[in-house]
Amino acid sequence: TGATIEMNLAARDPKAEKQALDAAALVFVDANVVVVNKPSGISTVPFDPEGMGASIALRSQPGEEATLDQRVRTALAKREKARGRSGPPPEIGVVHRLDKETSGLLVFTRSWSAKKALMADFRSHTVHRRYLALVHGVPEGGRIETHLIEDRGDGLRGSVEHRRGRNRALAGEKTQRAVTHIDVIERFENAALIGVELETGRTHQIRIHLAEEGHPLLGERVYIRGFRGDVIPAPRVMLHAAELGFTHPLTQEAVSWS
């Protein structure tokens, strides 16, 4: 009783400002898709123990950092407001993800028909994705094909072909075919800049394949067991989604960004 409270309605929330997405990060926007240049250090969606299907319904709790999908929704709402349109932040659909530390191009959908079409494209491996990566040593390049399992025997996700002992799937063991294409762009004394193209898109596929070939990514902290070379320090996993291309779900034209 007797206390005075003063509120400045025009003041900006410093935390909200910090978690805002730079407008330049919205690379392309139309009624069906939004292509984003994801910064490193932001999760694509909130952690979802049930898998990608439920993740779009989750929202960060008070005190949690806003994820990329939420920042994109806010950025889209700001665009609409600047054009004189008001309303709640629009819903967007998740069709693929990038790891928290990975930067680069990622697409969200803005309509159910676009989500259905792009999910089918990702399943049929017709989406073009090329990454740039810095790795320990110099790989030979070429094509890597393995079958990924949840536990390769040491508690980590990995290829059944690189499991100690039996290098074939056990009865009832679920495997995922994973194909990665690598080309060496530049060689250094004890590292290399490489280009990586995904034929399939499995969880941690690039990180696993490169580590199992003896060339873990710089900044790798998980898939680096057994690496006997000198570890080059890096502030994060040095992986960047440099190119993205697909058939536009409405126009059926080939679209791409780099």
* Set 30, 48, 99, 121: catalytic member: 99
Backbone angles phi, psi at 116, to 5 degrees: -60, -45
Q: In angstroms, rounded to a whole number, what is the distance separating the alpha carbons of residues 114 and 167?
A: 40
Half-sphere exposure of residue 201: CA atoms within 13 angstroms, side-chain side:
21
What are phi and psi for residue 255, nearest 5 degrees? -125, 150
Give CA–CA dist 212/162, Å, rounded.
7
99 is catalytic: yes
Provide the b/e sequence for 134-155 (b: ≥16 CB within 10 Å).
bbbbbbeeeebebbbbeebeee
φ and ψ of 57, to 5 deg: -85, -15
Distances (CA, A) of 252 to 30, 60, 197, 248: 14, 35, 23, 5
Q: Which residues are catalytic?
A: 99
